Chains A and B, each alone.
Chain A
């Protein structure tokens, strides 16, 4: 049963990823990415990490996606045809690296034998909110606080970039 669900989600994720790369249109790519991220959430669920799975849907499927779409609307990216037409060393290197990664992946896939590895029964207890809460606020309290500073820095950085953009436009 779990194997079939895994195959379903994994195929969906890979298909969505392929769709994301191949579609010319930026908004279509972004929406394929949503599908990809949600399938990954399904795989998290199979690994018994339910809190993480829901976070995946909430943050990536909802929040990050809205940000991506707003940025696409802000930049008004047109179709990517122009980019493909000019060939450069960068693309050659990118292609070469891609081939390496693909061959590694194929090697890993080929070396897998049998079905899915068994998930440790104790995983069920690890993936809950309670366990994560205990770990976060007893052991990793300082990193949590540093995260807050990081997020605030992100806001300040985003504002500086965006506001400069606006005031530059006004001054011209």
Chain B
């Protein structure tokens, strides 16, 4: 990819620039698409049609129209708020969640940067999100905001443990933290003669690991049934209560980017990343990007589907699920995967 860019772009720094900007472009386009998709999924599950008019075909430009509307809204900073922190918080959330995409291999030819500690870097940089959320809630100087922020931070840090432990149980099998190498390890269709070499087929415990990872990532991305940060019936708007216009929009974009990030990590670790499910058929750098994004979008779709299927947990149930079930289970699973690796 870098050589390809160098072939028609004049200067070296320009190549690095274009190279680095790609994830940002992908995610901005994805966020517009995902918000539209969310409405369509919600509509169809509830036997409605969802947006139909804006832009013609099935309301495809609804989100773009919303974005334009949001830009025209007044930028309100509450009088009692800590102005500096209030303005900074969305930037930190946005930058932290977008910087994480650098270590995601989008195709065999493109990864933002071959960071050796890839997945560890992603975990670390997304942990800054909870700081930005407390910052937003505290700076707003509003009871709903602060209560929402405290709950969100407690939820995010709690569910980070099972997420990371399930990621580690995959790392035990792969032996590398670099996601590109993890994906390359899953190339080929040798498993049972026809199944792809994806890690989810590696052992029965990997299936359990994926289920645990997916549940924990739902909570990390603040999705139903763990969407307590946005539980409007009890917390109004959570940490976003005082935000309006484009600053609120930045938080919204961050939430959707987070969803995609966790889905892509899940797809890379368990479903072969950019590998085609049909062996060498439909393989290559361009098809690789297609498969990667398709796998990610399928997981995002499941998250949206769950939103209209499950009721929301209470905050005490939320903590119970994490500390009494998910964390012990994920550790037991880690040990079992390690034992499986030792024996076979």
Contacts and interface: CB of A to CB of B under 8 A. Distances in A.
Interface stretch (A2-10, A57-65, A84-92): A57-65
A144 interface: no
Contacts of A129: 116-117, 120, 177
B131 A65 contact: yes
B127 A57 contact: yes
A31 B117 contact: no
A158 B115 CA distance: 37
Main SS of the interface on chain B? helix
Contact of A54 (B117, B130, B150): B117
B190 interface: no
15 contacts: A25-B82, A31-B135, A34-B131, A54-B121, A54-B124, A57-B124, A58-B123, A62-B127, A63-B127, A66-B134, A69-B138, A70-B150, A73-B150, A128-B116, A129-B116
The 8 closest A-B pairs by CB, nearest first: A62-B127, A58-B124, A57-B124, A54-B124, A69-B134, A65-B131, A54-B120, A27-B138
Given A57-B128, A129-B116, 13 more contacts: A27-B85, A27-B138, A50-B115, A57-B127, A63-B127, A66-B130, A66-B131, A66-B134, A69-B138, A70-B153, A70-B154, A73-B146, A129-B177
B26 interface: no
A50 B117 contact: yes
B14 interface: no
B157 interface: yes
B28 interface: no
A61 B85 CA distance: 16
B124 A62 contact: yes
Interface string B14-26: 0000000000000
A28 interface: yes
A51 interface: yes
Interface residues of A, number: 21
Contacts of B135: 31
A63 B129 CA distance: 11
Interface of B: 82, 85, 115-117, 120-121, 123-125, 127-128, 130-131, 134-135, 138, 146, 150, 153-154, 157, 177
Interface in A145-168: none
Contacts of A57: 124-125, 127-128
A50 B116 CA distance: 9
Interface in A36-85: 50-51, 54-55, 57-58, 61-63, 65-66, 69-70, 73
A40 to B, nearest CB: 14
Contact of B128 (A27, A28, A62, A128): A62
A33 to B, nearest CB: 10
Interface string A6-40: 00000000000000000001011001001000000
A54 B130 CA distance: 17
A163 to B, nearest CB: 16
Nearest to B150: A73
Contacts of A73: 146, 150
Nearest to A31: B135
Contacts of B115: 50
| Residue from B134, B135, B154, B157 having most chain A Cβ neighbours under 10 A | B134
B36 to A, nearest CB: 32
Which of B117, B150, B157 has the largest count of A CB atoms less than 10 A from its CB? Answer: B117
Nearest to B115: A50
A62 B131 contact: yes
A57 B177 CA distance: 17
Contacts of B131: 31, 34, 61-62, 65-66, 69
Contacts of A69: 131, 134, 138, 153
Given A51-B117, A63-B157, A66-B153, A28 B82 contact: yes
A66 B123 CA distance: 15
A58 B117 contact: no
A28 B85 CA distance: 8
A58 B85 contact: no
Contact of A62 (B85, B130, B154): B130
Contacts of A62: 124, 127-128, 130-131, 157
A58 B134 contact: no
